[in-house]
Amino acid sequence: MPATALRCRVCETHYSLDPIGVCAKCFGPLDPVYDRDEQRRVVSRERIEAGPTSIWRYADLLPVAAPADARLAPGWTPLVQAPRLAEELGIGELWLKLDTANPTHSFKDRVVAVACAKAQEHGATTLACSSTGNLANAVAARAAAEGMEAAILVPADLEPEKLIASAVYGPRIYAIQGSYDDCSRLTVELSFEVDWAFVNVQLRSYYAEGSKTLAYEIVEQLGWDLPDVVVAPIASGSMFTKQQQGYSDFIELGLVDGEVPRLIGAQAEGCSPVATAWADGGKVKPVKPNTIARSLAIGSPADGALAAATATAIYATPEDQIVENISLLAETTGVFGETAPGVTLGALRAAVQNGEIGEDDRVVLLVTGDGLKTPGLVADRLDPIVVEPDSELILETLGGVR
């Protein structure tokens, strides 16, 4: 394993590779440090291609050792072209990265797998998190697969589909009468009182690195080539910023030639502190979320400042366009995404309208969550033609057109 230490992003203090949440000196976030010389010696296209069809094919680029028995391994999700949507938007080449194909149908399975590997290394028996839904699903499923206990804190008014999709695995669920930011605060407080392994508190440095595998896979699936543009949602900002790092890793290691893709960020208008900061050129200021995109409803994003600094542009998708975008994605590609992809498609449309993306660009849109987690938003589209069991009656509805 080439990771050698954790380093504070602010004051650059180094720490050992332990479950440490933040810098003890300045409370800044911690990132893994890697031995680049060792990675250059070990990592090659051939070695990666010979690995398992999961995130663990990139173990030499992650801060944990690959599990000997990789249960429920996430990653290596489909990258598919979307020619009809590309034509609709006026884009030359559009690809969809379908992380809905992960075990619990979101990209969160990637980050939890990495965090859990570190938790098990340190003998943890309970995996825990605060969540807007997708992370709760991933933590509960991972704990079940590994024979661990699970504890999750979620807003009490979360979509029932996401709560049920967590409950089925048997975790301890705390439904908090408050927002996600309240849940996040409670996990920090509890991390000092209980011996649970909170994936997005003490294990955050490891958890976040799992998102790099999205970038690795995209490059490899494009035939070891870089896209021109990547459009991704921003909640905490962690996954978005790790996209930049993932592409940079491959370039620095000589696995691919070119430049880091332009990164377009997406937030919902009802919770857009990072989009506002990017537009104003100011600091990220916490907001009270008021959006239907619950999976992105983080009013005080931990990596918001870095996301704003990383982005080529960030757009806030109007609330009344999110469901429209979910339907557009489904009707033109056959892919049913949840609210986060609806928001992300909104940012893509805005970037095209502003001339930032054109017909010569190869674009990748991240589809990070499955629409079956939020079906109620499009329930009004269900309007079947009710008929008796008689084929003639069905033919009559066609008005003579057969």
Using one digit for the tens of pLDDT, what is the confidence trace for 177-228?
Answer: 999 999 999 999 999 999 999 999 999 999 999 999 999 999 999 999 999 9
Residue 112 and residue 240 in one domain: no
Residue 61 and residue 145 in one domain: yes
Residue 232 and residue 304 in one domain: yes
Residue 183 and residue 34 in one domain: yes
End-to-end CA distance of the chain: 63
In a domain, 143, yes or no: yes
Q: For 99-236, list the strands marked E by DSSP.
A: 126-130, 149-155, 172-176, 197-198, 229-233
In a domain, 398, yes or no: no
**Pairwise CA distance, residues 303 & 274, whole Å:** 9
Residue 19 and residue 157 in one domain: yes
**Pairwise CA distance, residues 220 & 152, whole Å:** 34
In a domain, 133, yes or no: yes
Residue 173 and residue 303 in one domain: no
Residue 163 and residue 113 in one domain: yes
In a domain, 89, yes or no: yes
pLDDT at 48 over 70: yes
* pLDDT reported for residue 400: 64
**Parent domain of 130:** 3-66+108-207
Residue 53 token pair: 């069809």
Using one digit for the tens of pLDDT, what is the confidence trace for 304-341?
Answer: 999 999 999 999 999 999 999 999 999 999 999 999 99
In a domain, 74, yes or no: no
Which CATH number characterizes residue 298's domain?
3.40.50.1100
**Pairwise CA distance, residues 102 & 108, whole Å:** 9
* pLDDT reported for residue 21: 86
Domain boundary among 161, 192, 207: 207
Domain boundary among 207, 234, 255: 207
Residue 190 and residue 240 in one domain: no
Residue 203 and residue 339 in one domain: no
Lowest mean pLDDT among 63-67, 92-96, 147-151, 157-161: 157-161
pLDDT at 402 over 90: no
Mutual orientation of helices 339-353 and 319-333 as an angle, nearest 10°? Answer: 90
Residue 55 token pair: 């995130």
Residue 281 and residue 248 in one domain: yes
Residue 234 and residue 291 in one domain: yes
Number of domains in the chain: 2
In a domain, 357, yes or no: yes
In a domain, 352, yes or no: yes
Residue 95 and residue 225 in one domain: yes
